[in-house]
Every structure is written in structure tokens, then in C-alpha cells.
Amino acid sequence: MNRANARKMDSMPFSDPSRDRRIVMTLDAGGTALKFAAMRGNQLLVSPTPQPWRADRLDESLAAIVAGFESMSKSLPEPPAAISFAFPGPADYPAGIIGDLGNLPAFQGGVALGPMLEEKFKIPVFINNDGDLFAYGEAIAGFLPYVNQLLERAGSPKRYHNLMGITLGTGFGGGIVRDGELFLGDNSGAAEVWMLRNKLDPSLGAEEGASIRAVTRVYAEQSGISFEEAPDTQTIFEIGMGRRSGNIAAAREAYRRLGEVAGDALAQMLTLTDSLAVIGGGISGAHPLFLDPLFRALNACFEGNGQRRLGPVAFNIEVPEEREAFLRGETREITVPGSTRKVRYDPMQRTAVGLTRLGTSEAVAVGAYAFAIRKLGTPA
């Protein structure tokens, strides 16, 4: 899609994706697998189905993407209205052109993936970053409405409108949603959390401390083995939980460091967004080993003057006691000056951080669907 069309679509009226009957085919493209799905009305018609692919050969990569969408379209009850999916950057997402990708070596020099798919399927194609779409999906139908529903049931006047999402996996991704709108930036490069400084090694980016390879590297270093000899991150997690034999101290240290680096990066982002935050990605299931250090980093103080690292207090929504404290806040009634009228007031500045409510792949699919429906506008 060209930029003129993208700007034109931005001015079109918004259609509620949960009530829309149009079908959109989606894809979450990872380093080792393609996950195709189809959605209607924010509901999965076809659940994400992982398909292995060769990300080091361009012709084979493009053929796998086309074949996946062709197969998906044949299983749908009616023709899809659009294709909308997640693909790693850097990229000119509005134009549908993928740039030079480190994790997907086949994509170099600018690959016009969006225009190619538009020519093939004769429908609009929208591409975004997976971190952006993850955050958008959780803002629409996952973590953000979940927290606001908890607040409503608790009788709190507090409501949230903004969400920061991070994904922990092959890379360290992020996305920002503000007042129901996905914030993309002027260069399709907003919320690139992986480029923040690594707290434990400022010479590197945060992704080198908060990703699959970071966990593997630390486990190997602590165990005195090579990177290639280290087990996968799921096995490292199970070792750390005492479920499998191995170096339990090394496993716990690997995830502790991930939590500290991710928490520090998230604190930097939340200082700017003043929002809720949700965590997803392929290794988010290891949260029993990294959430505590993540929250210690979020709620830490600067060593020089003792000032809090983050203005609002960050509560772990997954812990009942913290969830209750977050919902309770400090709500009280105050009197309007010169009047007998009373109003409710909650002065506690706070945020909640928790895990994906939809699952990462479904959140990406929901985000992709909602993005497409918004761009397509209200049906004629």
C-alpha cells in the first residue's frame, strides 16, 4: 500500500472490530515459524498454526508466505477482506517494504512484501511490527480491559487508557497504545525497546540481556560450557524450577538477569508512557523466575539520591495481595471548596504490570485484525 492510500485510510471512520463481520487473514512471522490465522469480529476463525520456514532464502521464504495465505483462504467461509500481519523490522510498514533483517537474513536491501501480496491476492495488505500488534491486541481485548474491569468491580474511580506491551523471545520487542490508537512513530520505529541501554552492560542494547540468546548465554557462562552446549530456554527454566537436572544456580541467574534488564528497560518506557504494561513472548512462560527481579528493577531507587526509579508504584497484578492493593488505591472523599458536595479522589500514582491475557499469538492476531478493520473503514 502506498503512503497516500495509508493517509487516506487514516481519515476514514473507525469500525468496532468486535462487531465487524469481515474476515482478515493474519500472520505472526518469527525466526523459525510462520503462524497463520484468520479472524472475524475479533474472534479466531482459524487458530494460529505454526509452519516451519527457511528464513535464509528469499524465494523460499516468499513462497512459504504465499502458500500459507493461499491455504488459509481456501478454508474460509467467504473471501477475506484484507491481509494484516506481523513482520520484524526495520521496515517501512505503511509502504509494506521490509528492510535489512538480522534475524531473517533472506530479507535484505528492501523487499516489497506488501505490494507483492496485494498483487497476488487483490486485497489490501497491512504489515506491522509484532510488538506493536501484540500491544494493540492486549489493549483492545486483553490486559487493558481486564484491568479496567477489575477496577470497576472494586468500585474504584480509576481507569486506564494507555498500554505498553513488551515481548520476550528471539528478540525484545515493544508496542505503545494511546487512547485506543497504535503509536507507530514517524519512521515506523516507535517503542523499539530492544535499542535501550542494557542496565548490566551499557555497551550493549537491552535485547542482549532480555531475549532467548541472553538466557542461553548466561546459563552457558555460569555453567562453564559453550553457548552451543547449553540447553534451550524451556529446559533452562525447568532446571531453575528444580524439575530437571542441571545447574540450578546458573538457570536462576540467567532469568534473574533477564528480569533486571527487562525491568529497567520497562521503567524507562513507563516513565514516558505513564501506562499499564503487559508482558508476552515465547519465554514469558518462565515468569516465575524473572518477575520478582523485574519488579525490583521497576520499583528501585537511584543509588545517588534515593529517588524512585519510576514515579508511579508498579504492582504485580499476578500476585493477589498486590492486585488488591492496586485496586484499593487510596480512594477517599473530599469536599469541593465553598460547597457541601463531595467528590471521590484517589491520589495514589500507580501502574499494574502483568502477563498476556490472550496469549501472545492471539494478541498479535487480534491487533492485526483491529488494525486492518480500522484502515478499511466502515463498510459501504
Indicate if 281 and 335 belong to the same structural domain.
yes
Type of residue numbered 229? E
Indicate if 94 and 237 belong to the same structural domain.
no
Q: Is residue 134 part of a domain?
A: no
- Residue 379 banded pLDDT, cuts 50, 70, 90: confident
Q: Is residue 133 part of a domain?
A: no
Indicate if 119 and 266 belong to the same structural domain.
no
CATH code assigned at 14: 3.30.420.40
Domain count of the fold of the chain: 2
The per-residue pLDDT for 4 is 39
Mean predicted confidence (pLDDT) in 33-60: 87
Indicate if 187 and 40 belong to the same structural domain.
no
The per-residue pLDDT for 8 is 36
Closest CA to 34 of 16, 60, 8: 60
Q: Is residue 137 part of a domain?
A: no
Q: Is residue 138 part of a domain?
A: no
Q: Is residue 47 part of a domain?
A: yes
Per-residue pLDDT tens for 329-349?
998 899 999 999 999 888 999
Per-residue pLDDT tens for 87-114?
988 899 999 999 998 778 889 999 999 9
Mean of all residue pLDDT scores within the chain: 92
Residue 7 has pLDDT above 90, yes or no: no
Side-chain half-sphere exposure of 55, counting CA atoms within 13 A: 16
Cell reading at 6: 495509508
Residue 134 has pLDDT above 90, yes or no: yes
The per-residue pLDDT for 6 is 41
51 bridge partner residues: 34
Indicate if 102 and 248 belong to the same structural domain.
no
Residue with cell 506488501: 114
Write out the residue range of the structural domain in which residue 189 sits. 143-357
The per-residue pLDDT for 15 is 54
The per-residue pLDDT for 88 is 86
What is the distance between the alpha carbons of residues 153 and 160, in angstroms, rounded to a whole number? Answer: 14
What is the distance between the alpha carbons of residues 210 and 135, in angstroms, rounded to a whole number? Answer: 18
Indicate if 225 and 333 belong to the same structural domain.
yes
Indicate if 180 and 89 belong to the same structural domain.
no
What is the distance between the alpha carbons of residues 280 and 357, in angstroms, rounded to a whole number? Answer: 9
Indicate if 98 and 244 belong to the same structural domain.
no
- Residue 118 banded pLDDT, cuts 50, 70, 90: very high
Residue 56 has pLDDT above 60, yes or no: yes
Q: Is residue 135 part of a domain?
A: no
